[in-house]
Structures are given as C-alpha cells and as structure tokens.
C-alpha cells in the first residue's frame, strides 16, 4: 500500500516560509495514501496561482492548466478515463472568481471529482489584491479603503449547486484535514474541500492565530451531514465561530453513471480500428 512519503517528488516547493500551502500539500499526500489510491491511476489538475504548483510536488500524474479552467480539464480527463481518480487543486481566485461558472456546472452534474480549494482570501501570486472570498471591508493595495463587496460563500454555494460532499478544513488542524481529504476522495460524486489557508505574506487579517481562535469541529457537537437545510444554516456561520468538517453528504448517481458509452469500457480503452469517419468527413468537403 502506498504511503504519503512515497508521493514526495524531487522538486522543492517555492512557497513563502509559513505558507498554508505546505500543510495542504502534506494533507493531500496523506489523503491519497489513506484513500488507497494508486499513483498511476491518479491525476491532479491545477490552474494558475501559488497553489497551482502542487502537481509538481505529488508523485502522481498531473496537469497544470490556465487560470480558472481546472474543472473543464478535470472533466475531460474523467470522461476520457472514468477509472482514474481525478483531483482538482487551486486557489479561491481561480475557483470562485474566473472559474465560478465551471464550479457551478461541475457540481450540478455531480462528476466524480475531488476539488480542493486553497482559500487564503487573497490573490497571493499577484501580490495581494482582494479575492472573491475576502471579507467585506478588507483593505489591500487594490482596496485601500476596504473592499465594498460581500464575500462568496463556497459552502452554501456548493450545497445549493449540487455538490454531494461539501466540507471545510484548516491547515492548522492538519490531522483533521488529512482525514477530510481522504473522505472526499473516497466519496463517489463531486466533493469540495474548501481549505482555510493563511497567506503569511499578504493577508494580515486571516492569520493562523485568527482562525485558531474561531474554528471548531462540526462533529464535536454531534452534527450529522445528512440534512440539507441544517447544512445551509451551518454554512452561514462565519466570524466569531467558523465550523470545520463535513457540512453535507449525499449519495446520488454521478454524471458518468448516466453515460452508457463508458459504462463497461472507458473511452481511452475502446477500440477505434473499425471506426470509419469518411462519411462524416465528406459532409465538410
């Protein structure tokens, strides 16, 4: 069985010292091992941002795409070979900003994909602009008087949007995060793991200390993630108390389950020697 240490590559991360991405990298490797995935049958897809270098640091297959397009690429990979475990990994700007449209449609389709979002509430790679999840009033170089926009709530959006596994972790609670990632990978359907990831260089509000004073585990209160309305209520909590864990989980047929073309044999393994496309091509002549 694969161990987390077996997934370490020769490449060294170039993140700032203390960056929350280090914790996410550790949790991702551990989650893959705990879920029992085979690296040769696992693909990590990323976009653009500090977080999106993560495929270089995990010994699986990887694809680093363009900004906001993680989920279309992940969808294509999953439909080409539905036997693969497909994991998307990107930032809050990538996923909840330019990639928001893809986020909503991937969830409503319930593709069997795990989506890990490094939510640091700021654009780190481009030097500290406010992001879709930045708190209202948050001051940055692009909002010196404070952001006037209310933040995106990824948890409630995911529940309403159709995701069948909706969760939140925090890099300051690493063992809990490892377990959360493993659960998300094992779940059949669209899984969101929104991870609170302090940016130690540009975000001076949402720090490790700030989160540590506020986070609590849903499961400590005997919470069960099977009630959609209760999940939405918990998803609205933010400020003095911030819940961590699985907000909502339900079993439903996946998008791939409804495709007879790949029910028995993935597309990539289907024989094409006897396929004659000449009649189709003649239509374009």
Average pLDDT value for residue range 18-41: 97
Percent of the chain scoring above 90 in pLDDT: 90
Q: 3-class SS at 18? A: coil
Compute the distance between CA of residue 46 and CA of residue 51 in angstroms, rounded to an integer: 8
Residue predicted with more confidence, 222 or 119: 119
pLDDT at res. 74: 98
Average pLDDT value for residue range 24-48: 97
Lowest mean pLDDT among 3-17, 108-122, 238-252, 265-279: 265-279
Average pLDDT value for residue range 207-225: 94
Q: Could you tell me where the DSSP H helices lie in 110-252?
A: 154-161, 174-186, 208-212, 228-235
Compute the distance between CA of residue 253 and CA of residue 173 in angstroms, rounded to an integer: 32
Average pLDDT value for residue range 246-250: 98
pLDDT at res. 189: 98
Cα 217 to chain centroid distance, Å, stands at 20
Q: Which of 119, 57, 133, 56 is nearest to 90 (CA)?
A: 119
Residue predicted with more confidence, 221 or 120: 120
Residue 273: pLDDT band by 50, 70, 90 thresholds?
A: confident
Q: Which of 60, 51, 52, 54 is nearest to 6 (CA)?
A: 60
Q: What are the boundaries of each domain within the chain?
A: 4-282
pLDDT at res. 1: 81
End-to-end CA distance of the chain: 54
Q: Is 181 exposed, middle or buried (0-12, 13-18, 19+ CB in 10 A)?
A: buried
Residue 144: pLDDT band by 50, 70, 90 thresholds?
A: very high
Per-chain mean pLDDT for the chain:
95
CATH of domain 4-282: 3.40.50.970
Orientation of helix 228-235 relative to helix 154-161, angle to 10°: 160
Residue-wise pLDDT for 39-62, tens only, equals: 999 999 999 999 999 999 999 999
pLDDT at res. 141: 86
Show the CA angle centred on residue 219, arms to residues 206 and 131, nearest 5°.
25
pLDDT at res. 211: 97
């Amino acid at each position: 069985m694969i161990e987390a240490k077996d997934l370490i590559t020769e490449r060294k991360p170039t993140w700032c010292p203390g960056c929350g991405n280090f914790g996410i990298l550790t949790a991702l490797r551990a989650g893959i091992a705990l879920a029992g995935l085979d690296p040769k049958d696992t693909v990590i897809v990323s976009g653009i941002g500090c977080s999106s270098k993560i495929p270089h640091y995990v010994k699986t297959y990887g694809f680093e795409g363009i900004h906001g397009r993680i989920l279309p690429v992940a969808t294509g990979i999953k439909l080409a070979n539905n036997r693969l475990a497909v994991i998307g990994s990107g930032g809050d700007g990538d996923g909840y900003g330019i990639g928001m449209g893809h986020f909503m449609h991937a969830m409503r389709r319930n593709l069997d994909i795990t989506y890990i979002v490094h939510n640091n509430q700021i654009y780190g790679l481009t030097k500290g602009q406010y992001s879709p999840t930045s708190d209202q009033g948050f001051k940055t170089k692009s909002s010196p008087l404070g952001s006037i926009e209310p933040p995106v709530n990824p948890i409630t959006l995911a529940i309403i949007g159709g995701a069948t596994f909706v969760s939140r972790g925090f890099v300051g609670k690493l063992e809990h995060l490892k377990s959360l990632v493993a659960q998300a990978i094992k779940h059949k359907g669209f899984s969101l793991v929104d991870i609170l990831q302090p940016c130690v260089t540009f975000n001076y509000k949402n720090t490790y200390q700030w989160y540590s004073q506020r986070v609590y585990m849903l499961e400590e209160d005997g919470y069960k993630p099977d009630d959609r309305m209760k999940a939405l209520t918990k998803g609205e909590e933010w400020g003095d108390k911030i819940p961590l864990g699985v907000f909502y989980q339900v079993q439903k047929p996946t998008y791939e389950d409804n495709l007879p073309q790949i029910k028995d044999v993935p597309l990539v393994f289907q024989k094409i020697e006897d396929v004659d496309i000449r009649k189709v091509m003649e239509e374009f002549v």
